[in-house]
Amino acid sequence: MAISGSEREAFEKQLEAYVGLDIGLEDIGKDRVNAAMVRHWCEAMGDSCGAYTDPALAAESVHGELVAPPTMLQAWILGGVGMASDESDPRDKQKELHRIFDAHGFSGVVATNTEQEYTRYLKMGDEIRARTVIEEISEQKATGLGIGYFINTRTTFRDQNDTEVGWLTFRVLKFEIAEVPVAAETAETGAPSRPQRLRPAMAHDNQWWWECVDKGELAIQRCSGCEALRHPPRPMCGECQSSEWDFVFSTGQGTVHSYVVIRHPEVPGYTYPLVVAVVDLEEGTRFVSNVVDVDPGDVEIGMAVQATIELVDDEMKLPVFRPA
């Protein structure tokens, strides 16, 4: 539970003191901009742009000589293996600020945005240094991850002539971790990393229907008393009150009665935009499912569709429709 009342006021007061502060350290590149580090970068990224690695092509280009990839800017001043240790420079105001958040329960951290501006491309031999300022701390926000605060920092990069070559900003969320993340749970169970669709809840009244789907059939419940078809399944016939029933298999042929194109929110396991339709099956009942392999703009009411039963993730089968 997030802190409140006077405790929150005191905490936010403490935060205010950090806004506008230089973090107290200058990051100085250990190596000049050089062809070897550029080549390692380009190999990792699969970037074959000649301006970075081919002196002849670079010379003919607008760059006139070999240059470093612009997005590599921060790489010139990062700490390397030293970053893997827990020790940090006691003068580092940014780390100090993060520890204050941790101590008040906002121990989660995630970078949400970054913006970079490149005044010029770096050339071989450039010497890069950078200073970072804590620009802004937001008011408390409710986010998808939990309650927290956004911290904005700005790092300005300069060369050997003390001329600015670019800057970058980071927006980081410090948040209260609400519960065990789903990802951690799946790590324990060894579940696949590919997200799966939500499973239907199974019980006596519907389990048989899903078992039919697993066997490749789209079933429709039929009253044994009056032979009325009904969907979704239920234990008693609303027409004649009979509790006896069996089922028939649908041909899967139908027409779109109505449909939607879902764009938000995007739930892992589903592909968006996601088309879902209410379909009039030729047997007279309706069935709701996806229409696939179609441009959402081409779906229309009255369109003929055909159901097939297929895997929609690693394990779950579902009848889905395609234009007939």
Partner 1 sequence: MSGNSLFYKEVSVGDELPILPIDLTSSLIVAGAVASRDYTPVHHDKEAAKAAGMQDIFMNILTTNGLVSRFVTDWAGIDARVTHVSIKLGTPNLPGDTMTLTGAVSDKDDATSAVTVDVTGKNAWGNHVTGTVTLSLPAGG
Partner 2 sequence: MPTTLKDQAAIVGIGETEYSKNSGRSELSLASEACRAAIKDAGLTPADIDGMTTFTMDTSDEIEVARAVGVGDLTFYSRTPHGGGAAIGVMHQAVMAVATGSAKAVLVYRALNGRSGARYSEGVSGGPTTSDLIHWSWYMPSGLMTPASWVAMVTQRYMHETGCTSRDLAEVCLAQREHAVKNPRAFFYQKPLTLEEHQAARAIVEPLRLYDCCQETDGGSACVVVSPEMARDLPNPPAMIRSVAQAAGAHQESMTSFYRPTLTDLPEVDLVARQCWEMSGLGPEDIDAAVIYDAFSSIVLWQLESYGFCKKGQAADFIRDGALRLDGRLPTNTHGGQLSEAYVHGMNGVNEGVRLIRGTSSSQPAKNEHVLVTAGVGVPTSGMILGQI
Q: Which residues bind partner 2 (CB under 8 A)?
A: 2, 4, 8, 140-142, 147, 197-203, 205-206, 231-232, 257-265, 267, 270, 273-274, 276, 278, 285-286, 288-290, 296, 301, 312, 316, 318, 320
**Nearest C-alpha neighbor of 106 from the set 170, 149, 139, 151:** 149
> Nearer to partner 1 by C-beta: 173 or 223?
173
Tell me the C-alpha distance between 275 and 297, whole Å: 10
Name the one residue in this structure whose structure tokens are 């779906």. 299
Stretch that binds partner 1, among 112-120, 130-138, 198-206, 227-235 (CB under 8 A): 112-120
Stretch that binds partner 1, among 62-70, 131-139, 147-155, 203-211 (CB under 8 A): 62-70
Count helices and strands in the chain by DSSP H and E runs: 7, 14
Interaction between residue 311 and partner 1 (CB under 8 A): no
Tell me the C-alpha distance between 110 and 148, whole Å: 11
Omega of the bond leading into 200 within 30 degrees of 0 (cis)? no
Interaction between residue 71 and partner 1 (CB under 8 A): yes
Phi, then psi, of 76 in degrees rounded to 5: -65, -20
Residue 2 touches which member of partner 1, partner 2, none, C-beta under 5-8 Å by kind: partner 2
Residue 41 touches which member of partner 2, partner 1, none, C-beta under 5-8 Å by kind: partner 1
Phi, then psi, of 250 in degrees rounded to 5: -75, 150
Is residue 44 within 8 Å of 75, Cβ to Cβ?
no
**Interaction with partner 1 in 148-177: which residues (CB under 8 A)?**
177
Question: Residue 85 corresponds to which tokens in the numbers above?
Answer: 């240790």
Interaction between residue 36 and partner 1 (CB under 8 A): no
Residue 195 touches which member of partner 1, partner 2, none, C-beta under 5-8 Å by kind: partner 1
The residue type of 319 is P
Interaction between residue 264 and partner 1 (CB under 8 A): no
Tell me the C-alpha distance between 276 and 46, whole Å: 38
Question: Residue 225 corresponds to which tokens in the numbers above?
Answer: 């008393």
> Nearer to partner 2 by C-beta: 28 or 178?
178
The torsion angle over the Cα atoms of residues 199, 217, 215 and 237, rounded to 10 degrees, is 70
Binding residue (CB under 8 A) for partner 1 from 268, 301, 308, 324: 268
User: Which residues contribute to the site for partner 1 (CB under 8 A)?
Assistant: 37, 40-41, 43-51, 57-58, 60-63, 69-72, 74-75, 78-84, 110-118, 121, 177, 180-181, 183-184, 186-187, 193-195, 266, 268-269
